[in-house]
Chains A and B, each alone.
Chain A
Amino acid sequence: MIQAHCETKNSRNFSIAMVWINGGSNMDVEEKKGINQILCSLLTRGCKDFDNLAFSDYVDSHGAELNIETVEDGMLISLKSLDEHFNKLLPLLNLIINEPSLLNKQFQNVKESTINTLKKDKENPFNITFEKWRKIVYLKHSYAFNSYGYEEDISKITHNDILSEYENFKDRNKYLISNNLIIQNKSFGLINQNIDQNKITNNLESKNHKHESNILDRFASTNQKSNQIILMIGNQTCPLSNADYLPLKILESYLSYGMSSILFKLFREKNGLTYEVGVYNPFRKENSPFLVYLSVSNKNALLAFEILSQLWGELLSSLIFDNDIYLAKIKLKSSFLSSNQTLDEILQRKVRYLGYKLDQNYNLLKKIEYITAEDILNTTKKYLSKPFLSIYGDEKICNEINKLWIKNF
């Protein structure tokens, strides 16, 4: 395991140790989608001398938090406790990674819980719309799939599958980071480094932004009676490490950061059409999604879509004004300061950078002043000329939007 110490302010009275494991739901095989999420959950449900409840009791007795998460590119295990207890709790990370019990009883429990969580997720129309969107954008690539998996896949996963997946897990590179100097004195005699594993070896199976996809293949609709229409439009773009990522972040800032952003001004201030509007552009090891989302009442949905189409056309044909770029850059820098407020955010970003083979102090903004309106226009054209649209809501309105989609895009 690669270890890194991160110097931060010392007045917090608590510490965090975080482990990033390269390989999350992107390691799920066909028909076993969700297996890595189940494996990750199982890691903390008993290890070496602790059964499930004894383990939990030990953590809770110290008022600590142990959180686990499986995302597309990896797994994140985070231990947070008051400084006075940190020394006693840190060795748990070693145990859960290297000596988990992975008992069948616990496996069945996690499996059932996962199925229930997936059912509950379906209550949220935003989840449903996004599920469809990523399916049409990423096709067979792992980013097309929910990290939690799918009910039909989960029900097929066996305890033996989990044990085999753990063997695979052992070969994945792991990175430990903490603000507490104590980690430098601990020996984590863990798993061998698998140097090649970090390289991006899986070429994307869908490079849709380069393909001339049919307009109908770039559209998905979920018809459900509801008060609102949800719209999600965008495409896959590039990895965090790509030079295009920064112009896209400036574009995101221009579009959606704060109440001076173009989406806020256009949809809320000028036309009073929507409450919820924004951009989703998380950083990923491979091609990040970049999508504009909004929800709008049924009666305003067509007008909102026309305005969105027009905005999209302008983004692809006109340079953003210099003063708007200037403001977008200020807001982007300010958002980085804001995301440096919590230890959790700081460490999570750094440890993921390490996992992506970047320096933990990688400065995305280093070249911000050099990015021009032309750079942003070129990047927008490169990735967003053939966007993908997923909509949710009343069937009749969705059909009308489909007609406008064909006309405008």
Chain B
Amino acid sequence: MNPGEVKYFNHSSKPKCVFVENKELPLVCIDFWFKAGSAFEESDRNGTAHFLEHMIFKGSNKLMPGEFDYKIESLGGMSNASTGYDDAHYYVLIPENNFKESLALLTNIVFAPSINIHEFEKEKSVVIDEIKQQNDQPDEKLFNYFLSRVWKDNKYGKTILGTEENLHSLKIADLEKFHKRFYNNNNFCIAIAGNLSEKTFETYQENNFSYLDLEKTSQIKNNNEFIAVSSIGREEINFKNIELSRIFMAWSIPSLKYQKINIGFEILASILCVGRNSRLVKVLKEKSNLVESIYVDVNAGELGSLLVIEACCDEINLKNVEEEINETIQEVISCKNLTLNEIRKAINIVKSNYIFNLETSTQLTSFFGNELLWGRKNSLNELNNHLEYWNNKKNFKKIINYLSKNKFTLIASTGK
């Protein structure tokens, strides 16, 4: 696996940084990562992390609202950001010759935002529109509902966007407090990927990071030791505006800290649902066409992860589909017909996926930035070892055993 030359920069006077050098990429990505996702919000301040991400682009101590976007785009670049449950990141994608100015602009806007009341109220309205739009998409609304039911606590159970009511109650002070608490060197790292040169490294070292109090510590702290716990049981609901019914099933599995185990679950997800010969697709689509779609996904998080099965089917088939899924899971648990070939096939699929998805500058900074932020520096090097470890029926049974544990099931009917 050779996505480029990976170098880690670890010096007490600068933020931690990972550089991925690949001369053939047309653009450079600079990606700032923070342990500042919605899971870090105070329980009555849902929506803060995501709203702050919007407001970061609304000006700083040096830049007027809109000025950052204009400058970056005039340099032939583009910028974006995203907030998840665990982290938030901000990136620019630029031609290499404009690296210096772009790095300086991104540093300024992220660390020295200036939130004025006029911009705050306007952007609040935009985020409320985003929430309304999400609520008009039955797929998203239903999945959020499922997460709210499956996670017992409210770290991963609340939506990242928050509710309209949450947004109305947020004040500028809430955003400033969150920024002060989490946008600092303890929770931060940078990833830079693309056609880099010696000059890029020099420019990085010369960049003004004085907004950060670097003397305090240069170690990224793992400051959220909370462990998320999922529900078990079964729930049936009628859900408005869906044409087809849904079945969700979820098993609690170890968090991303346990990388080897999470890779084991990616292999299991492939065995269950990638390709027409996979266990669930074969039974539910190829043999009987009982479902419109069936997915198995590892919903991975730093506090806890889920193995999720989602089936979409006609109302009339709901009972059959649930039974077939349960029967298939029982077969897997009992290792019925499970061969090393089946495991190997799934390992090949997982391995290819990693390689296919480390192609662009943005993909590289996403992967390496996230890994560095959460202290998993050598994970790509270890991937082959992990895959090899699971290429053994006895070892793989450790993963399968998780399926014996109690799960949570949500049945959503169309009500038609």
CB within 8 Å of B: which residues of A? 8-14, 52-53, 56-57, 59-65, 80-82, 109, 112-113, 116-117, 119-120, 122-125, 226-228, 257-260, 264-265, 268-269, 271-276, 295-297, 300, 327, 330-331, 333-335, 337-338, 340-343
**8 tightest Cβ-Cβ pairs between the two chains A and B:** A272-B122, A9-B24, A63-B348, A63-B352, A259-B69, A116-B292, A60-B275, A275-B130
Give the residue of A61, A295, A338, A343 whose beta carbon is less than 8 angstroms from that of B133.
A295
The stretch among B171-179, B257-265, B356-364 that forms the contact with chain A is: B356-364
Report yes or no: B286 in contact with A109, Cβ–Cβ below 8 A.
yes
Report yes or no: B129 in contact with A64, Cβ–Cβ below 8 A.
no
The A/B interface has a contact count, at CB < 8 Å, of 188
Q: Per-position contact with A for B348-370: 1 when CB-CB < 8 Å, else 0?
A: 11111101100111100000000
Of the A-B pairs whose beta carbons lie under 8 Å apart in the complex, a sample of 19, sorted by A's number, is A10-B24, A53-B286, A63-B348, A65-B356, A113-B285, A113-B292, A116-B314, A123-B242, A123-B243, A258-B79, A269-B122, A276-B129, A295-B136, A327-B74, A330-B73, A331-B73, A338-B26, A338-B78, A341-B361
CB within 8 Å of A: which residues of B? 1-4, 22, 24-27, 57, 65-66, 69-70, 72-74, 76-79, 93, 95, 121-130, 132-133, 135-139, 241-244, 274-278, 282, 285-286, 289, 291-293, 312-314, 341, 344-345, 348-353, 355-356, 359-362
Report yes or no: B66 in contact with A265, Cβ–Cβ below 8 A.
yes
Report yes or no: A113 in contact with B289, Cβ–Cβ below 8 A.
yes
Q: Which residue of B lies closest to A259 (CB)?
A: B69
Question: Distance in Å from the Cβ of B286 to the closest Cβ of chain A?
Answer: 7
Report yes or no: A275 in contact with B126, Cβ–Cβ below 8 A.
yes
Q: Which residues of A contact B76 (CB under 8 A)?
A: 330-331, 333-334, 337
Q: A11-B22, A62-B348, A119-B244 are in contact. Are A227 and B275 (CB under 8 A)?
A: no
Report yes or no: B121 in contact with A259, Cβ–Cβ below 8 A.
no
With A123-B243, A337-B76 given, name 13 new contacts (CB 8 A).
A14-B352, A109-B289, A119-B292, A120-B243, A120-B244, A120-B293, A122-B243, A125-B137, A228-B129, A269-B122, A272-B126, A297-B132, A334-B95
Q: Which residues of B contact A271 (CB under 8 A)?
A: 122
Of B78, B122, B130, B344, the most chain A CB neighbours within 10 A belong to B78
CA distance A271 to B123 in the complex (A): 9
Report yes or no: B129 in contact with A297, Cβ–Cβ below 8 A.
yes
Q: Which residues of B contact A112 (CB under 8 A)?
A: 289
Report yes or no: A258 in contact with B69, Cβ–Cβ below 8 A.
yes
Give the residue of B122, B313, B349 whose beta carbon is less than 8 angstroms from that of A60.
B349
Q: Which residue of B lies closest to A10 (CB)?
A: B24
